[in-house]
Structures are given as structure tokens and as C-alpha cells.
Structure 1
Amino acid sequence: MERRHDIDALRALAFALVILYHVAMYYVAGWDWHLKSPHAAGWLPAPMRALNLWRMDLVFLISGMALALLWRGGSRWALLRQRSWRLLLPLAFGMVVVVPYQPYAQGVANGLVAPGFGDFLLRYYTGGPWPAGAFDGAHVGVTWNHLWYLPYLWLYTALWVLALPLLESAAGRRLRAAFTGLRGARLLLPVLPLMTYSLLLWPQFPPTHDLVGDGWLHAVYGTLFLYGWWIGLDAGLWAELRRWRGRAAGLALLLLVLYLPLRAAAPVDGIARLGLRLLADLYLWSAILAILGWAHHALNRPWRWLRWANESVYPWYVLHQTLIIAAAVWLAPLALGPVLEPAALLLATVGGCWALTALIRRSDRLRPLFGLKPRAPLPRPSPALPAAPAARNA
């Protein structure tokens, strides 16, 4: 099968954007996060909102594409076992080892957790209890924080495995063919289920990332995961996405220019808020169409950095938010100001991810804890052949 370099590159760039977004969350004015800088930036909410409306939606759609690339028509249960190992083991390890510093730093900053990381861990590993609002997830006792993506992805993969006979049935194949046969403006039709979820689920199920009570996000992310699986490597649809990339980008930009000022002026509740949500859905899908089309146009080539990025993206994802928070705590007393501090925070996060991932990639014990496959064994040297006897003189 031909290697699709654009999908590999898009996956790496999407997760890089997640890391950059989380660095910016420390500075965006008016938005809650685990820690907040005193150098809040009033100009950040608009670009952050422009990204936030599609960044994780794109990640789940790419995850569906990745499943389509992995699926070879073999045992779906074997594939589920493989994906469970690569998703749930890093989740468990991350929750035990990588994440705990985040609630500790947040609890100390909130004045509801006493300084002393060792004492915090003893209490954390036994489930608390914690004062209300000590950190995100304190009511449960522990948290997975940014690793919420892993159980969600595992859930959608498991549902895909259960639904595969239906998806591969005659009716399922017709539905997939209808999706991949969309052309021109009909490429916008897949937004209709997303709008339906906004009408029926969004008001009752605000995002929680707790897996259990996230009805609206499950509907959206699960549908985009399915869209990604349907898109897969369908040559006709990818050619149409590439052809339509300019119009999709123009539409997304127009919708964003309408959405941002309307959201700033609209009342918090009421029909106007619901209308804005529907406008956001149309912007979300137009942006994804544009991103897929431009990625196929510009990124489908064997970039030199791509092999490294493909193996590094998972450890970077697991590590990055803890490194951001640790670096923020370390930099805060230095009072570097609103320019040097963000630059130093980004540099510390990238440098920490780079250095730790270099160690992880070389360790056979650490690799599975960060979702990496075992290293390919080095080729064994061929045994030396005996020298040929010298030819006799005639």
C-alpha cells in the first residue's frame, strides 16, 4: 500500500498544535486552566477560540483515518487488543507517574494543598479526599487531565470493533460510498449530524472530559472518528478535497469573521447562543475540509523529519502538559515579563519533550509505557564465508 505522507504529517502537526495551544492556555485572559500567568493576554481569546472549535475534532478524525490504515481485514479482536495495549497502558502509566504533578501544582497555587510533593503523592495514590476545588478532578480524588483523549479514543475503537459487521454490511457499504462520493458543495452535508447534536445534546451536556457525562462530545468526536475511517485512502474523495481546498478555506474564513464578533456581542443564553453554536459547527467542518485538502496538496511527500515525528508524537503528547506546568512553576519567580516568559516556557516544554523522548525511544522498557512499538531487532551479521582457494597457475 502506498504510504500517505500527508496523513502522517497532519497527525504530527495536529498534536504539535495541541502542545502550542496548552502553552497558550497559561496566558489566555478569562479562560480557566490549571495554572494562570499574571501576564494574561487580552488578545488571545479570539485566535484560541478559532483553533478550539476544530483542533480536537481534527485529531479524532485523523485517529479514524489511522484505524483505516491499520485495518487489513484480519481479526478485529486482535486489532482491539493491540490498540488497548497501546492506549490503556500509557493512560495508566501517565496517570500514576506523569500527571500527578499537575494537580499538585494546581492545588498548591489554589492554597488548598500543602507544599510537599512526596506527602501529596501518598495522599493522591489513596484517592484523597481533597478540599472542594483543590484541582480539576479533586471530587474524584485523581485525574487524567490532558490524557482524556486516550480513553475516549479507546472507547470509539471498541465501538468500531463491535459495529464492524454492520459497517461492512451491504447497507453500511452503501452509506460509506455515499459519504466518499460527495462532491462540490455536497461536501458540507456531513455537518448536518453535528448540527443535530448541537440542537439536541449541547444544551444538556456541556464538555466534561470525564468519559461518563460527556454526551455531546461523544456524539461529535465519535462521528468524526467514523468520518475519518470512511475517508481512509479513498482516492476520489481525496482528489475532491484537494480540488475544493481553496473554497473550503475561504468559507471557513468567512464564517470565522462572522462568528467572532457575533459571539462577542451575543447574549450568554437564548436562541442567539444556539444559533452561534450552529455557525460554529459549519465553521468547524469547513475548516477541516480545508485542512485536509491543503494537507493532501502540500504535505504528501517523504519529509526528512516525518519518520522521527511519527515515533515522537505519542511521548510528546503524554509528557507535554506536565512539562508546561513544571516550567511555569519554575519560571514564575523569575518575573521575566510577558514576552520573555512565554518564549522561555515554550522553549523549556519543547526541550524537555525532546530530551525525554530521546531517552524513551532508546529504552525497550519505557517504549510501551509511552505507546511505542518495540524496536525492530538489529539485523544479525551474516556468518563469514570461507575464502575462495587461490587459482592455480596454468
Structure 2
Amino acid sequence: MTRRHDIDALRALAFALLILYHWGMLYVGDWGWHIKSTHTADWLQIPMLVVNRWRMSLIFLISGISSAFLMARTGGFAFLGQRTWRLLLPLVFGMLVIVPVQPYVQGIQTGFVKPGFFDFLFRYYEFKPWPKGAFDGDTNGITWNHLWYLAYVWAFTVALVLVKPLLDSRPGLRVRAAFTGLRGWALLLIPAIPIAIETVTLQGHFEDTGDLVHDGYRDVLYFTMFLYGFWLARSGGVWDELARLRRRALVAALLLFPVYYGLGVALPDDAPGAQQLIWALRSVYIWWAIAAVLGWSKAYLDRPFPWLGWATEAVFPWYVLHQSLIVLLAYWLVPLRLPAGIEASAVLIGTVAGCWIGFAIIRRVPLLRPLFGMKFRPRETRPTASTLRIAEPANELA
């Protein structure tokens, strides 16, 4: 079986969208973040919500796809060992070295931290709780901020290895066959049902803490998407069906979003069943949007683009670096009171340039590579597009 170029391309594009989303958080009105520009706009909430509802679910689904390919190559516990090294080392390094600028900047905004980054680091590395409200993760003394995804993927990897015997049992294989055998509107509706049930029953009981242990709703939702990806990975027929349904899924998602969003605005919060109805419709929207993305990707991205090898290798370092660069650039630029267009362009261009330069250095320094999720040494030779096979990706971010 030839390599699925569309999965590699989709992984790179999904994380590029994540970078743009975090850049947008600087400017969207009435949403809290580590630092906010003086040029915020409430109208940005709508396009941000269009993406927000499915962006991380898509990334976890891609993670499940990659996990299926990797596990088939290495086996369960060897796979877990590789993933532990490639996920937890960058997570710990990132928390200690890359992320601290974010709580530092946020702490200055909230007034709990005084200017002086090295003084902040001495206090930060004590790993003691900060005053409540100092920054995101203050009660733990240290935070992983945007790197929370790595902790969740590792936890899902452990869970996948543990439940693999059940998935490979006769009932488990029947469930998988039923899922990958869905066609037509059944493929667009049935996978949304577990998402809706999880949302209606769990979301109201859990805040989005991002701390894994107390994040019950997102734990269940994202593991479901991770499992969907694991099942979808090697099932060619369902991918062909997603490609066939791509227009239908896209139109359905675009029509459903204003309906569920409008109901959220119009219905009183205390109306009986209103919240549950909105959550259910949102769940269907999430799956339709993801189905559309997967279908269009299969139809148009399954080819060896010249940029694909570079992008596949760059994804992990760019992911680790990008949010700290956005926050740091905003910290320098926002006080200058530049026009909105100039400031926003400077933050985005500076972030892209910083990630580009950072990756150019990281990929050439063997000791840095594993700290950013890359293999210790680059491959000696690169296979040509015609000889690529489904194998271990250049990095294991997804």
C-alpha cells in the first residue's frame, strides 16, 4: 500500500490552522487569553467558533490514524515506548524552557508578576503554587499551556495499548467493521451520535481545565475521535466514501452552523432542553465539518507535493515554538500602539519567521532534535515519492 500523502498534508495543514487560531486569540473580542491586543473585535468570534468546534477533534483523529500505522509497524509496547520518548521529552522540555514566557507575560498583565524574566524563572522553577488568577495553571506552579495536547496524546496511547486486545477481539472487530462499513448518510450521522451523547451527558459537569485529570468531558470526546482515526486509518473503502460525500458534508456543515449558533443566541439559558439541543446540534456539526475536511483531503491532497517532506518534519518544532513566539511578540508590540493591520501582520510574520529559523537550527543539531519531537539523527537517505510506503512518520506529533 502506498503512503497516504493526504494524511501527511492534512497533519501539516491542521497545525498551520492551529497557529492561525492562536494568532486570532490575540484579537478576538471578549475571549480571555494570555495577552490581548488593544485592537480586539467581537465579530471575530464567529469565524473563530466555526473552526474552534472541530479543530482539536480533527487533530486527535489524525493522531489516531498515525497511531494505527505506527502500531502496525512496531507492536503495542514497543510503540508505547517510542511514543513515551517522543512525546513526554518534548513536553517536559517545553514546560521548562519554551512555555515559561507565556505565564510570565500573562502574570504581568494580571499584576501578579513583576517585570524581570529571570527573577520570574527563579520563582517559577520552585514549582510552588502562585496566587490564584496569576496565570493559567497558577495553582500547579508550572503549566504546559498549548503543549497540553502532548500529554493527552500520550495518555490516549497508553489507553489504546491497554484496550488493543479488546479492539482485536471478535466483538471489537465487528464494531470496527460496522464503523468502517458505513456509507451514505449513515456515515454522516451515526458517528455523530456518540459525540452528542458524550457532550449532552458530560459537558455540563466538567470545565475545560486542560489538566487531563479533571477534564473528563474532553478526555472522553478526544479519545473517541482518536479511536475513530485508529479505525479509519487502513480502511480504504470508507475514505473513498468520504471523498464521494465531501460536497454533501461541507454544505450540511455550513448550513447547520448558523442554525445551532442562532439557537444559542436566541434561546433563553433556562429554557427546558435548550442547552442539550444546542450541544447535540453542535456535535453533528463537528462530525460533518470533520467528514468534509477528510473527504476533500482524500480527493485533493493525496499526492507527493514538493513541500510535503519538509512540512512533515517541521510540524512538531513549529507546534512547540509558535505560541510562545506569538505571546512574546505581542508583549513587545502591543504597547507600541501600532495600527491594527501593522501589528497583526508583524505578530504573524514574526511568528512564522521565528518558527522557520528555529526549525532550521533544530533540525541540524542532533541534541536539539529529540527535544522537539524529532529523531536524534536525520535519515541518511530520503525515499522518492514513488517508493514511499505507510511507515513511521518523520515525527510523532500526530
- Alignment TM-score > 0.5, same fold: yes
Structure 2 counterpart of 1:31, which letter?
Answer: W
Q: Which amino acid aligns with 1:254?
A: L
SS at structure 1 position matched to 2:43: coil
Secondary structure at 1:201 match in 2:
helix
**Aligned-residue offset at 1:171:** 1.2
* 1:306 and 2:289 correspond: no
Matches within 5 A, 1:135-284: 135-187=135-187, 188-270=189-271, 271-284=273-286
Instruction: After TM superposition, give the deviation of residue 208 of structure 1 in Å.
Output: 1.0
Task: Give 1:31-70 correspondences, 5 Å limit.
Answer: 31-70=31-70
CA distance in 1, matches of 2:247, 2:335: 47
Matching residue of 2:104: 104
Equivalent-residue separation in structure 1 for 2:185 and 2:231 (angstroms): 19
SS at match of 2:256: helix
Q: Any idea what SS the aligned residue of 2:138 has?
A: coil
- Does residue 95 (structure 1) correspond to residue 95 (structure 2)? The answer is yes
DSSP-derived class of the 1:71 partner = helix
Instruction: Tell which structure's C-alpha radius of gyration is larger.
Output: 1
Q: Percent identity?
A: 54
Q: String of CA shifts for 1:219-263, please: whole Å, max 9, x gaps.
A: 110011000000002111011001111111111011012122222
CA offset at residue 265 of structure 1?
2.2
**Cα distance in 1 for residues equivalent to 2:375 and 2:224:** 28
Larger RCO of the pair (alpha carbons < 8 Å, separation 6+): 2
Inter-partner Cα distance in structure 2 for 1:6 and 1:87: 23
Q: How many residue pairs get matched?
A: 379
Counterpart of 2:78 in 1: which secondary structure? helix
Counterpart Cα distance in 2 of 1:269 and 1:101: 41
Deviating beyond 3 angstroms after TM superposition, the runs of 4 or more aligned structure 1 residues are 376-379
* TM-score, scaled to structure 1: 0.94
> In the aligned structure 1, how far is the partner of 2:233 from the partner of 2:31?
36
5+ residue gaps, structure 1, are: 380-394
Q: Summarize the Cα distance change of 1:378–1:224 in structure 2 as closer, same or farther, 3 Å threshold.
A: closer
Instruction: Render the CA deviation track for 1:269-305: whole Å, top value 9, x for unaligned.
Output: 5521221111110000000111000000010110011
How many angstroms apart in 2 are the aligned matches of 1:287 and 1:323? 29
- Of residues 319, 322, 328, the one that matches 2:321 is 319
TM-score, length basis structure 2? 0.93
Say yes or no: does 1:285 pair with 2:287: yes
Partner of 2:373: 371
Give yes or no for contact 1:104–1:117 (8 Å, CA) kept in 2: yes
The 1:375/1:250 distance shift into structure 2, 3 A limit, reads: same
Over the aligned positions, Cα root-mean-square deviation in angstroms equals 1.2
Alpha-carbon displacement from aligned partner over 1:54-77 (angstroms, at most 9, x marks no partner): 000000000000111112264311
